[in-house]
Chains A and B, each alone.
Chain A
């Protein structure tokens, strides 16, 4: 059980007039090797929650268990050397390109592995592997990260996290501001990483990504968990109340149904299953 939240509360600026409760009694577990999406309106506490997973924030109340590390509100109960959890959890912030600082691409990617105790040679090797996996060609390794394009910077920054080979990868809006092809390549990369056994937690506003990639969805609303379910059953319901948008595919099916079709929403997951249902409706073989 790599990630387990037990009744977690978090308050920003406690005991001041500016106090605001970001998390309000959160409990859930995320299984090993799963692909979970975390969704909800802006300001519902997603980013706060994610920062508890690698101990950047400590809960005001309750505890978070991550791969044997315990991040609790009670200082005595907290694991010693809790910061080492950051070697297990790779957290990719929104717009990670802002964290680049080294002279060369290669050095920047090797920065995190070195911090987590790899020797310089090992770190460089890990960096090269990670750079290859995000599709950065070898000719870029000696260039300054600041001369790259926006999309390339983002890929280098993500390689900087992947190079640590985290067991759990948390990505916050990884496709924001990328062109469609770049976004798809990025998501396919996370899919590949997931298939290699990494637990992936994806924070996003894009429900199409949720439908295409996630196995489970956690919906948050006002610092609470509104729903934990799988994407297909989530999109059956009215999700406007959580300020979420129905994915294109489902909107298409719903429009078709409104025009007289009667396609079963729960059986449709992707284009393939949709065409199967359509063929069946026409009287063809499934």
Chain B
């Protein structure tokens, strides 16, 4: 069982050094840029391409291997086919491209727009994966939760349990590898009892899955019980004030990045909102 997507990789890249609070904000802003509408098809793809290049540069900086992204795409091919089918079946409103083909028998017209639409969604999906990957592969999970807690601190005024939520998230993150370990252990034990998780009839494989899931649940509950006891024994009080070993510090390059990202997002939002830009660029065949 491999768990490569989004795992923290300890390199010393400029992206790694950035403040996690900034990285969360930047990821959200870039995502907003990815998901905005920019008018004509040509405009949309140009803007998306710009973000794609930025994301690619950042990926290169964090030294994420291209193969890991490709692997994540491999599992997406079903989604791609599904998207194409859905958009081909759905009637197109205000087509901007000529008809791709027509099935006279069913009185069914497919415009090129459908394919572009599917392509756009796919591109957005890929970029979403890339952006989150940059964030999670360059930031320690604990730093991420600290940053989240920092964002939630203002909510403490209205008695929002910011610290408790951050603690829950960091515990959940901490136990992912442990539970994966448990999974391999139980799988091996059940395989020794003649279970096969990969071969055989469907009914047998479902039975195989129960033999894995039930022990996993049992051990997960036991672990959580033990952890709760251990925390209580050490006097953990969620409402207590506590200091932190690693403090989040804001550096000059964080300001620089903040400025760049905000400027970029502003430009993108402007392009999206201002009608003058909506058909600034056009594909040769586009009508509107």
Binding site for B on A (CB under 8 A): 51, 54, 56, 83, 86-87, 89-91, 93, 96, 98-101, 111-112, 115-116, 146, 160-161, 164
Contact = CB atoms under 8 A, between A and B. Distances in A.
Interface of B: 182, 185-186, 188-196, 210-211, 214-215, 218-219
B11 to A, nearest CB: 11
Q: Classify the secondary structure of B's interface with A.
A: helix
A98 B218 contact: yes
Given A93-B185, A111-B211, A146-B218, A99 B190 contact: yes
Contacts of A101: 210-211, 214-215
Nearest to B182: A98
Contacts of A90: 192
Given A101-B210, A101-B215, A146-B218, A111 B193 contact: yes
B125 to A, nearest CB: 28
Contact of B194 (A51, A86, A99, A100): A86
B194 A93 contact: no
B215 A115 contact: no
Nearest to B191: A56
A99 B195 CA distance: 12
Contacts of B195: 115
A93 B215 contact: no
A11 B195 CA distance: 25
Contacts of A54: 192
Contacts of A51: 188
Contact of A56 (B186, B192, B215, B218): B192
Contacts of A160: 193
Nearest to B195: A115
A98 B211 CA distance: 11
Contacts of B189: 93, 96, 98-99
Given A98-B186, A99-B186, A101-B214, A86 B219 contact: no
A225 B196 CA distance: 32
Given A98-B215, A98-B218, A86 B186 contact: no
A91 B192 CA distance: 6
Contacts of B194: 86-87, 112, 115-116, 164
Given A86-B191, A93-B192, 6 more contacts: A56-B191, A98-B189, A98-B215, A99-B211, A101-B210, A101-B215
Nearest to A93: B189
Nearest to B222: A98
A171 to B, nearest CB: 12
